[in-house]
Structure 1
């Protein structure tokens, strides 16, 4: 039995599911955010991780990857600077008639950001080396333009090493935690730490330094930021019970809000007033989400891009993986308009 508040799109209740999902993904994600990304070639190119990597294994399960990115976005937003970066520079924040951010999220704008996130973490995982490099260059260029001052007078800068470390830790933790809890055959222990260690390449490609490389290091890194974190008005507005009666998207309902907060470290869960239900209800809720995520994956299988990547290296590779080429501080200065024109 699915929880009554868990949305079940019509496509999930009709056949053939695989074809309907592929049509939806092609129209809403691939055609809009995967332009110029190469997965089928060049032959033998392993990309940044290669077919034997933990990253290929984790990211090939699309439903848990997508859920993990939602978890990462949630904990990332506990940094007030993230909230004001979004308010000042990101288009998914609704503005009033005078152009001031309201704190409310525009569903279409949020979908655009999520689509770009999917293309980045799929493309850098098992796309060609040039695809991964191109995606990283674009994100770095965007980060270089995000600078400003919060209303309390504190400056923010998306190139700040401290911010990059926080951002990186939230992403790798979100994806790995969703995988560990909801993948049918999750990596654990040393194998899961191999994922954390491999994923550092993405953080370095975006300019990060001194990044955590194991699960324990990542949890310690996240906890070290506690003194600077807070529940902003935007975060409170999109946390149950404030979501009741104000649903604007598939994640904007009490069940998915619960599922995301249920993955938080204990100290972060207390910040957003999350308390686990009794053990029987907790197991039922987690089992329901496990069933939804894995039923979708079982029917649709890996994305075509992953199968293309597998075919690309079927004849072997010269090296197990390539390395990000970025040298810290080597990007040219560009305006936001120039960056967006090339995105």
Structure 2
């Protein structure tokens, strides 16, 4: 019975994240012969393959929304409200292909995303022009994502890396960022921190950013029975944000509650996801 529960939960999570084509895509990514951008020992494989990504991904969306130009592009072009799971599935597939897939498939995935970015142009409500292919704007999206994934893995990862390992993760992520068009992405944690600080003067919580935060945190398109589970992940995603980002989004910190309830729940949830999505070992006689 426990095995059946594990399989059902694992399949439900995988289907939600990877979509109906998930099994075929996974087989192609992991089984296709050919060189990869990242070998089996690279830190990016450890970080992106861990259940902590469920928390890091939510946190990244919240942090990324604080750049008015990035948020305007998302609000006008991504369809995150109408098709949030489709957007998640496309993003997770891109991460999987560039992290684990063949070099050729990774290049094709990057070329596809660059083609989409090239077409995304417009103006904010204040009349500022944006272009998704702008290297500076791409740099913010990359830095916010990398920092969020790294923070999540440090806190909730099954096998946290040492200092050199996390520097290696930033360097690995920079390879993908450069392919996408980011100019001189950070290559270690010090550079990543400096990069985030350099963007601070450009950041603010626009009405679109706060609306996106409300949607992500309080209005997920999920059955009521699943919402407490998601709520635990979302609460930990908020707790992961830098204090200045939380302040901009009007997401106050409650230290006692976070220390006693939120963070322990995050560990339980990520362990449960890890248990559900890891195939049980076959018995040997």
TM-score between both structures, scaled by the size of structure 1: 0.71
Residue 268 of structure 1 is matched in structure 2 by 245
**Count of residues in Structure 1 that have an aligned counterpart in Structure 2:** 273
Aligned to 1:286: 263
Q: Which consecutive unaligned segments of at least 5 residues does structure 1 have?
A: 1-12, 93-104, 304-343
SS at match of 1:262: helix
Question: More deviation in 126-135 or 247-256?
Answer: 247-256
Corresponding residue for 1:4? none
Kindly state the Cα deviation for residue 115 of structure 1 after the two structures are TM-superposed. Answer: 0.7
SS in 2 for 1:39: helix
> 1:273-301: per-residue Cα shift (whole Å, max 9, x none)?
33432346424310111111112213431
Write the distance in 2 (CA, Å) between the matches of 1:241 and 1:55: 29
Q: Does 1:69 align with 2:42?
A: no
After superposition, the Cα gap between the structure-2 partners of 1:151 and 1:280, relative to the gap in structure 1 and judged at 3 Å, is closer
- Which position in structure 1 is the counterpart of 2:283? none
Equivalent residue for 2:221, pick from 241, 248, 257? 248
CA spacing shift, 1:198–1:302, aligned 2, 3 Å: farther
Shift in Å, 1:141: 0.7
Which one scores higher on RCO, CA 8 angstroms, separation ≥ 6? 1
Long gaps (5+) in structure 2: 281-285
Task: Choose from 42, 63, 69 the match for 1:53.
Answer: 42
Sort the Cα spacing of 1:247 and 1:49 in 2 relative to 1 into closer, same or farther, 3 A.
closer
Which residue of the other structure, out of 190, 208, 220, is the alignment partner of 1:216?
A: 190
Q: 1:192 aligns with which of 148, 162, 166?
A: 166
Larger radius of gyration: 1
Q: Is contact 1:48–1:125 with CA below 8 Å preserved after alignment?
A: yes
* Gap change, CA 1:30 and 1:287, over 3 Å in 2: same
1:41/1:128 contact within 8 Å kept:
yes
Per-residue CA distance 1:199-246 (angstroms, 9 max, x = gap):
1111011011111111222122112212221112233235469966x5
| C-alpha distance after superposition, 1:316-341 (max 9, x if no partner) | xxxxxxxxxxxxxxxxxxxxxxxxxx
Q: Quick one: which of 262, 273, 277 aligns to 1:296?
A: 273
Q: Distance in 2 between matches of 1:302 and 1:142?
A: 35
Distance apart, 1:247 and its partner CA: 5.0
Whether the aligned pair in 2 keeps the contact of 1:251 and 1:257 (CA below 8 Å) is no
Corresponding residue number in structure 2 for 1:81: 69
CA distance in structure 1 between the aligned counterparts of 2:215 and 2:60, rounded to whole angstroms: 21
Return the structure number with greater helix share. Answer: 2
1:41 equivalent to 2:29? Answer no
| Alignment check: 8 A CA contact 1:231 1:272 kept | yes
Distance 1:60 1:254 in 2: 22
Matches within 5 A, 1:1-343: 15-25=3-13, 27-28=15-16, 29-32=18-21, 37-42=28-33, 45-61=34-50, 63-92=51-80, 105-106=81-82, 109-239=83-213, 246-249=219-222, 255-279=232-256, 281-301=258-278
Cα deviation for residue 269 of structure 1 reads 2.1
Give me the whole-angstrom Cα distance separating, in 2, the residues matched to 1:180 and 1:242: 23
TM-score normalized by the length of structure 2: 0.85
